[in-house]
């Protein structure tokens, strides 16, 4: 298995994991409503009807939909603003601003005293969530090497899974605190408050994060970009400084030339360049489509409303919270599987295997629920639960992290933040459609809601097969060739002409950047 593990330095991995703490808060926040819905004291405090058979439950369904709608409406705002802000302010500052907004919203959720305040707090949390969503995978990709980018960006999925798992188990634990004192709001306030902790830790550690070298080059801060690249390779430099310096210089030269070329093209095209060329429009369709399509596989609904799903299958009390906790925890080793193998086996392979497998699970699940939902047949209902669990295995090991890896690498540097924003809009808008409708749909059309997922999954599989190219093993600049654009200088698979250019440019850089490059790895790490 060792040959499947991509090469990376501890420094690279450390900064990627620090950034990924934001993903833990985001996924925890997404699942927060599921945990609250499993706490009887939440219904009582917010004056909501908990029993679906009692009058007034329709208001509960509508309120739950509104909670999700406010969160995702805020996320739309955060995504759109960040699409501009990440270019103007930089990835690092946008990450910090998003963390502050998220922490504020999470604290207000935990302190909510009525339905209206909770909805407002969800909106504020959503703004921070949208900002973090957009920035983190892009930032990770720009701080990764070509052969480890899939592994590094897959940490998005791993830390997403960790957030969902923490939310599930914390809510399961506090459920019993609520049983001891039904009037206490601790059982739902503490889990809501916990969502701010990972984002707070990330914010505290953020001054140590380097700026994206590609963003620094775009700002004309070339010396700083070169220093960052040497930091990213400093672990290798300790044993072979000549090789590491050469690698950093080559990466820097390719970035500089490609960004200069892309910027020149953008100036010729004018504003809204991301919409005005065929390759860029294709990137937009693929980026938006992959996150939109993945959500319609149905896993997001279960991750958010799993407690309601298990309750509809005749499981009550603490059992839905326990099952939800186990279900989300399965995704943690699954995402590690993606991280280890996606750079070797490829993005398309993972996306196709996962989507087809989930389609089979959806078909079996729909058939079982059509026969046994609302009955006393425990065997049939348990079989449905089995396929729900099988879905998370395929989702986490094939799709969860891969969608973010793919989105983060298909756009050129000068358009990446805008492209990332459009792609994340696919996630948020599909979430609005699904998560706002799901509580009402489960209360009215029941199992037939799965038929929508089945039809959408079939369409998504066809799109993956015919339209999505493979991107593994290429530098971000080399991926331009996949979309029919000019690559000024190849990093992977460089031609003899490319090698000659590298040698000439490296010789120039040794003269022009002598002061920067003369620093030892230890000195660089202290800067």
CA distances (Å), origin 368, targets 251, 297, 378, 453, 454? 54, 18, 11, 15, 14
Local structure of 54: helix, strand or coil: coil
Cα gap 271→488, rounded to integer Å: 23
Cα gap 423→86, rounded to integer Å: 15
pLDDT value at residue 524:
45
369: Cβ contacts below 8 Å, ≥ 6 apart: 313, 384, 446, 447, 450
pLDDT value at residue 205:
94
pLDDT value at residue 349:
93
Q: What is the pLDDT along the chain (527 residues), one digit of tens a residue?
A: 344 444 566 787 888 889 999 999 998 988 787 778 777 788 888 888 777 677 777 888 888 888 888 998 999 999 888 877 888 888 899 999 999 999 999 999 999 989 999 999 999 999 999 999 888 888 888 887 766 777 888 888 888 889 988 988 888 888 777 666 666 788 888 999 999 999 999 999 999 998 888 888 888 888 888 888 888 766 544 455 555 566 777 777 777 877 787 777 777 766 677 787 888 899 999 999 999 999 999 888 887 777 777 887 877 777 887 888 888 889 888 888 888 888 888 899 999 999 999 999 999 989 998 888 878 888 888 898 899 999 999 999 999 889 988 998 898 877 888 888 888 888 888 888 887 777 777 777 777 888 988 999 999 999 999 999 998 877 777 888 888 877 766 655 555 665 665 566 656 655 565 554 455 545 544 54
85: Cβ contacts below 8 Å, ≥ 6 apart: 94, 97, 131, 417
Instruction: Please tell me the total number of residues recorded for the chain in this structure.
Output: 527
Cα gap 355→98, rounded to integer Å: 32
Orientation angle between helical segments 416-444 and 299-312, nearest 10 degrees: 20
Task: Encode 340-375: b = buried (16+ Cβ within 10 Å), e = exposed.
Answer: bbbbbbbbbbbbbebbbbbbebbbbbbbbbeebbee
- Count the alpha carbons within 13 Å of 519 in the hemisphere toward its beta carbon: 20
pTM of the model: 0.77
- For the CA atoms of 432, 434, 436, 440, the dihedral, rounded to the nearest 10 degrees, stands at 170
CB 476 within 8 A of CB 215: no
CB 99 within 8 A of CB 90: no
Sign of the alpha-carbon torsion through 267, 269, 271, 275: negative
Local structure of 290: helix, strand or coil: helix
Q: Which of 437, 452, 427 is nearest to 68 (CA)?
A: 437
Give 152: exposed, middle or buried? Use CB within 10 Å, 0-12, 13-18, 19+: buried
Cα gap 207→92, rounded to integer Å: 9
Cα gap 137→399, rounded to integer Å: 15
CB 53 within 8 A of CB 312: no
Three state DSSP letters for 191-219: HHHHCHHHHHHHHHHHHHCCCCHHHHHHC
Count of C-beta atoms within a 10 Å radius of residue 66: 17
CB 321 within 8 A of CB 383: no
pLDDT value at residue 505:
62
CB 349 within 8 A of CB 482: no
Cα gap 111→107, rounded to integer Å: 6
Ordered domains of the chain (ranges, CATH): 2-210+280-473 (1.20.1250.20), 475-505 (no CATH)
End-to-end CA distance of the chain: 37
Q: Which of 36, 416, 337 is nearest to 192 (CA)?
A: 36
pLDDT value at residue 137:
84
What the block records as the tokens of 142 is 């720009």
CB 66 within 8 A of CB 48: no
CB 367 within 8 A of CB 387: no
């Amino acid at each position: 298995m060792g040959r499947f593990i991509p090469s990376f330095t501890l420094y690279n991995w450390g900064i990627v994991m620090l950034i990924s703490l934001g993903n833990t808060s985001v996924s925890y926040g997404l699942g927060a409503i599921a945990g609250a819905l499993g706490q009887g004291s939440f219904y009582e405090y917010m004056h909501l009807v908990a029993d679906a058979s009692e009058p007034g439950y329709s208001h509960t369904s509508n309120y739950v939909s509104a909670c999700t709608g406010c969160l995702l409406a805020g996320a739309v705002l955060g995504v759109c603003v960040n699409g501009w802000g990440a270019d103007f302010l930089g990835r690092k500052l946008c990450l910090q601003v998003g963390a502050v907004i998220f922490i504020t919203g999470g604290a207000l959720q935990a302190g909510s005293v009525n339905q209206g305040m909770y909805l407002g707090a969800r909106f504020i949390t959503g703004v921070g969530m949208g900002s973090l969503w957009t920035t983190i995978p892009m930032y990770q990709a720009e701080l990764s090497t070509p052969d480890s980018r899939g592994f590094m960006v897959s940490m998005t999925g791993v830390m997403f899974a960790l957030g969902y798992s923490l939310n599930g188990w914390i809510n399961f634990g506090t459920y019993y605190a609520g049983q001891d004192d039904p009037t206490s709001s601790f059982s739902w306030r503490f889990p809501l408050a916990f969502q701010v902790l990972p984002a707070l830790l990330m914010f505290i550690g953020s001054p140590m994060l380097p700026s994206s070298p590609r963003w620094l080059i775009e700002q004309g801060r070339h010396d700083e970009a070169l220093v960052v690249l040497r930091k990213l390779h400093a672990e290798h430099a300790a044993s072979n400084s000549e090789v590491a310096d050469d690698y950093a210089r080559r990466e820097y030269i390719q970035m500089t030339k490609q960004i200069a070329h892309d910027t020149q093209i953008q100036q010729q095209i004018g504003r809204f360049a991301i919409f005005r060329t065929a390759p860029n429009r294709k990137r937009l369709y693929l980026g938006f489509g992959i996150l939109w399509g993945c959500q319609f596989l149905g896993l997001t609904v279960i991750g958010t409303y799993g407690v309601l799903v298990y309750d509809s299958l005749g499981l009550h009390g603490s059992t839905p919270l326990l099952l939800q906790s186990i279900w989300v925890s399965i995704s943690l080793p699954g995402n590690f599987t993606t991280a280890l193998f996606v750079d070797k086996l490829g993005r398309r392979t993972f996306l196709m295997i996962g989507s087809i497998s989930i389609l089979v699970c959806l078909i079996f699940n729909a058939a079982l629920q059509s026969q046994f939902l609302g009955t006393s047949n425990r065997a049939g209902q348990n079989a449905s639960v089995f396929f729900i669990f099988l879905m998370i295995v395929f989702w986490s090991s094939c799709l969860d992290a891969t969608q973010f890896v793919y989105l983060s690498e298909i756009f050129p540097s000068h358009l990446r933040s805008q492209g990332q924003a459009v792609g994340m809009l696919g996630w948020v808008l599909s979430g609005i459609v699904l998560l706002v409708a799901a509580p009402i749909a489960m209360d009215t059309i029941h199992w037939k809601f799965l038929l929508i997922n089945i039809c959408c999954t079939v369409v998504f599989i066809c799109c993956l097969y015919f339209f999505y190219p493979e991107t593994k093993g290429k530098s971000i600049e080399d991926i331009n060739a996949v979309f029919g654009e000019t690559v000024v200088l190849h990093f992977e698979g460089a031609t003899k002409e490319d090698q000659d250019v590298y040698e000439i440019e490296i010789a120039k850089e040794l003269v022009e950047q002598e002061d920067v490059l003369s620093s030892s790895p230890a000195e660089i790490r202290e800067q």
